[in-house]
């Protein structure tokens, strides 16, 4: 046994000698190749902006700070004479541990010969700036062992606002929305950095001289109006909560260009809360119900089979097609009504019997009209996940005698809300169908690199005469039909209500569930914007489009109309109204800022005495500026100030600020003059 063990040990020694001496150079070279490599440095992803320049998505840099306590220039004397100061600075900055704890940790790292010791992750830029001035660290990477690694985190300043449309671009994961559609432009070009793999699988950067710097991504300017988007989401949220609906969506489009000004999608989760979980406006193709009647009547008008004043007999509100009964929503029926009235009152029987009468012998002729209006094709929007429209052909194996009358009033076909809106937008745009646009331009530090022009999908979906009559019918819905509750004294609205019974999986239509919608445009005489609202499965026994979707449409229309200069007649200024210039009212705030603006605008102002913070009083001929004095540890009076100045003033006193609303400060939760009691002191500001 002894001889065998001795022979085994001898064999080990021979092999060790062979590896270290004979094959040493070869293995050392392989080791270098395995532990040193050029690794990717991610570029800073471009920002996504709203139409007015508001930031919708940005990459916020976070820093990982590491320390090489055994750097060649960090000698024992230098380390020992500065470690107390460094530990105190770290404890004072992060306030998570005592200086003694930091000192013990750093000494331990030095004793264990650590070369890439983690100090802290997720360090903010302001903290990093302070750390660069700390003892030892201030000497930099090679002389002080101070190592920083930048990491970029995607953030949305407006949080959930249009979150599904903005989307996300995750490595080895889902990619949706504009982040995915413009990934190439936003992502930039990655760089390379020489790094060494050390213990624990961590990669440590080596010399900066061989780095290949990344190229930052371009910025994307969208067509989204952040103020309208806010109104759309708030209006949709209120109605969904009130009706306890399954989901809902809103899209607002500019008529002439197809630019999307707002798009909101909210669905109810298991906990009952509503969030943006799926882009229903783009992806959910469903049976539209009565909103498709516009296309059906346009087909009849285009072929000359009917005119607006022609009479149609709808009977008592019931009609049998092949042993299947169709009903009108009005109890007892509408009797004999005109085509215009039939559309305004949304008679199922009127449109179904008329379409069946004229197209029964050649149903494909009617279907071809729908194809001609481009209702069977995708829009080709840049955001992925567009639902496939479905308009059944008469050659389809599932075609039956019921197909024609049922398709005419919104069943046995499927469209997404955006596809239906694009059709209505074409009617508002004198027949020209525009492709929905979500992106305005690609920019780089303010310079436009690429600008996106409006795209025409179809020059005309019908004759000018048919479009004119279609618009008359759409106006009648609001003035005398199912959407009279949307009538507005300030401007006219045109559109169509929709109430569709929806199929519930294997149970089909046996379980009663509905989808309420309203699709239209405004002002009706000179259309500027089109809008669709869809609310799926309201559960409070109110499911008609005018009552569920209509109020959302009206609220958005009121907001947009009131803020759209192009929607109003030009104000004629007379001599009496323009004879005396008015001094503009301004907010309290920083003296230098106010003085700069007054000087630029040539507004006369008087100053009692100079001070950093001032209050202003607007007079007839000039502005009086008086100083505002603030005591160091007392709550200041920020009422009347711009919110940015108010936050700056309060946070510099160590106060945590919460804001509610937008505009000028009109109230503060803590009265002026109260003692600020340490860190964590909070104040809530109410804005106008």
Q: How far is CA 216 from the centre of its chain?
A: 22
What percent of the chain has a predicted confidence (pLDDT) above 70? 91
Instruction: Give the model's confidence band at 31: pLDDT under 50 very low, under 70 low, under 90 confident, else very high.
Output: low
Q: Compute the distance between CA of residue 291 and CA of residue 226 in angstroms, rounded to an integer.
A: 28
pLDDT score recorded for residue 575: 52
Least confident of 115-119, 124-128, 213-217: 213-217
With a CB cutoff of 8 Å and minimum separation 6, the contacts of 114 are 68, 69, 70
**How is residue 58 written in tokens?**
């940005």
Nearest to 527 by CA among 253, 257, 255: 255
| Cβ 470 vs Cβ 533: under 8 Å | no
Residue 308 to residue 466: CA distance in whole angstroms: 10
Which position has the token pair 């022609």? 310
Average pLDDT of span 121-132: 89
Average pLDDT of the segment spanning 360-376: 96
How far apart (Å, rounded) are the C-alpha atoms in residues 668 and 26?
73
What is the third-level CATH fold of 39-66+115-222? Penicillin-binding protein 2a (Domain 2) (3.90.1310)
Q: What are phi and psi of 358, to 5 degrees?
A: -95, -20
Decide if pLDDT at 113 tops 60: yes
Spatial neighbors of 422 by CB under 8 A, at least 6 apart, are 253, 258, 379, 433, 434, 435, 436, 457
Q: What is the CATH number of domain 259-525+541-566?
A: 3.40.710.10
- Measured between its terminal Cα atoms, the distance across the chain in Å is 94
pLDDT at 505: 56
| pLDDT at residue 515 in the model | 92
pLDDT at 577 over 50: no
CATH of 632-688, one of 2.130.10.10, 3.40.640.10, 3.30.10.20, 3.40.50.300: 3.30.10.20
Please state the φ and ψ torsions of residue 227, each to the nearest 5 degrees. -70, -45
The model's pTM is: 0.73
Domain-by-domain residue ranges, the chain? 39-66+115-222, 259-525+541-566, 580-629, 632-688
- The pLDDT of residue 208 is 61
In whole angstroms, give the CA distance from residue 384 to residue 371. 23
Instruction: Give yes or no for residue 197 having a pLDDT over 80.
Output: no
Mean pLDDT of the chain: 87
Candidates 596, 524, 599, 587; CA nearest to 557 is 524
Q: Give the pLDDT mean for 427-443.
A: 97
Residue 578's pLDDT band, with cuts at 50, 70 and 90, is: very low
Overall size of the chain counted in residues: 688
> What pLDDT band is residue 30 in, cutting at 50, 70 and 90?
low
- Contact residues for 201 (Cβ-Cβ < 8 A; gap 6+): none
Confidence of residue 569 (pLDDT cuts 50, 70, 90): low
Separation CA 676–CA 649 (nearest Å): 13
Torsion over CA: 348, 354, 359, 361 (sign): positive
Percent of the chain having pLDDT more than 90? 56
Q: What is the pLDDT of residue 210?
A: 63
pLDDT at res. 422: 98
389 is written with which tokens?
A: 């429209």
Ramachandran sector of residue 413 (left: φ over 0; alpha: ψ -120 to 50; beta: rest): beta
- pLDDT single digits (tens) 485-538: 998 878 999 999 998 887 665 555 656 778 999 999 999 999 999 999 999 988
């Amino acid at each position: 046994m002894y001889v065998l063990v001795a022979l085994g040990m001898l064999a080990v020694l021979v092999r060790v000698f062979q590896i270290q001496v004979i094959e040493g150079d070869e293995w050392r070279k392989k080791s270098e190749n395995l532990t040193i490599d050029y690794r990717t440095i991610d570029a800073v992803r471009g920002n996504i902006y709203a139409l007015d320049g508001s930031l919708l998505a940005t990459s916020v840099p976070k820093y990982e700070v590491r320390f090489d306590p055994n750097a060649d220039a960090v000698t024992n004397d230098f380390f020992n004479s500065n470690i107390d100061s460094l530990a105190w600075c770290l404890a004072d900055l992060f306030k998570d541990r005592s200086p003694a704890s930091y000192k013990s940790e750093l000494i331990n790292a030095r004793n264990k010969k650590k070369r890439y010791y983690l100090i802290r992750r997720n360090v903010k830029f302001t903290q990093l700036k302070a750390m660069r001035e700390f003892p030892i660290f201030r000497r930099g990477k090679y002389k002080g062992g101070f190592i920083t690694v930048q990491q970029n985190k995607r953030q949305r300043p407006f949080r959930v606002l249009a979150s599904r449309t903005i989307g996300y671009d995750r490595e080895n994961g889902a990619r949706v929305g504009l982040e995915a559609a413009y990934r190439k432009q936003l992502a930039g070009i990655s760089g390379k950095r020489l790094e060494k793999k050390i213990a624990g699988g961590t990669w440590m950067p080596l010399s900066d001289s061989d780095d290949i710097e990344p190229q930052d991504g371009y910025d994307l300017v969208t067509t989204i109006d952040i103020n309208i988007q806010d109104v759309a989401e708030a209006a949709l949220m209120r109605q969904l909560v009130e009706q306890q609906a399954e989901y809902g969506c809103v899209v607002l489009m500019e008529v002439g260009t197809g630019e999307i000004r707002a798009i909101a999608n909210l669905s109810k989760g298991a906990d009952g809360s509503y969030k943006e979980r799926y882009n229903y406006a783009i992806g959910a193709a469903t049976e539209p119900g009565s909103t498709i009647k516009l296309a059906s009547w346009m087909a009849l008008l285009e072929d000359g089979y009917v005119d607006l004043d022609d009479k149609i007999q709808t009977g008592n509100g019931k009609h049998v097609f092949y042993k299947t009964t169709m009903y009108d929503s009005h109890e007892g029926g509408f009797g004999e009504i005109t085509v215009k009235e039939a559309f305004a009152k949304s008679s199922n029987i009127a449109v179904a019997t008329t379409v069946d009468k004229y197209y029964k012998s050649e149903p494909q002729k009617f279907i071809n009209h729908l194809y001609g209006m481009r209702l069977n094709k995708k829009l080709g929007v840049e955001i992925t996940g567009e639902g496939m429209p479905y308009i059944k052909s008469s050659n389809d194996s599932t075609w039956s005698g019921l197909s024609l009358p049922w398709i005419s009033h919104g069943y046995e076909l499927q469209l997404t809300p955006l596809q239906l809106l694009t059709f209505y937008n074409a009617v508002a745009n004198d027949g020209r169908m525009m492709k929905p646009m979500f992106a305005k331009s690609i920019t780089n530090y303010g310079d436009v690199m690429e600008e996106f022009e409006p795209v025409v999908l179809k020059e005309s979906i019908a004759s000018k005469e048919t479009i004119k009559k279609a618009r008359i019918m759409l106006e009648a819905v609001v003035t005398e039909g199912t959407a009279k509750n949307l009538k507005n004294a300030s401007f006219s609205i045109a559109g169509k209500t929709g109430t569709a019974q929806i199929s519930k999986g294997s149970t089909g239509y046996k379980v009663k569930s509905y989808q309420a919608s309203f699709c239209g445009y405004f002002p009706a005489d000179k259309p500027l914007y089109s809008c669709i609202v869809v609310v799926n499965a309201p559960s409070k026994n109110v499911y008609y489009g005018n009552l569920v979707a209509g109020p959302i449409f009206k609220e958005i229309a009121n907001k947009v109309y009131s803020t759209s200069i192009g929607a109003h007649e030009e104000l004629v200024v007379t001599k009496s109204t323009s004879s005396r210039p008015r001094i503009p009212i301004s907010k309290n705030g920083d003296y230098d800022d106010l003085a700069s603006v007054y000087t630029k605008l040539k507004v006369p102002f008087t100053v009692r005495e100079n001070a950093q913070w001032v209050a202003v009083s607007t007079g007839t001929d000039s502005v009086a500026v008086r100083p505002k004095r603030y005591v160091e540890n007392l709550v200041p009076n920020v009422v009347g100030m711009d919110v940015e100045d108010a936050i700056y003033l309060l946070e510099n006193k160590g106060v945590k600020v919460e804001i509610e609303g937008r505009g000028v400060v009109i109230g503060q939760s803590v009265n002026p003059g109260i003692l600020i009691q340490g860190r964590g002191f909070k104040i809530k500001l109410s804005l106008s």
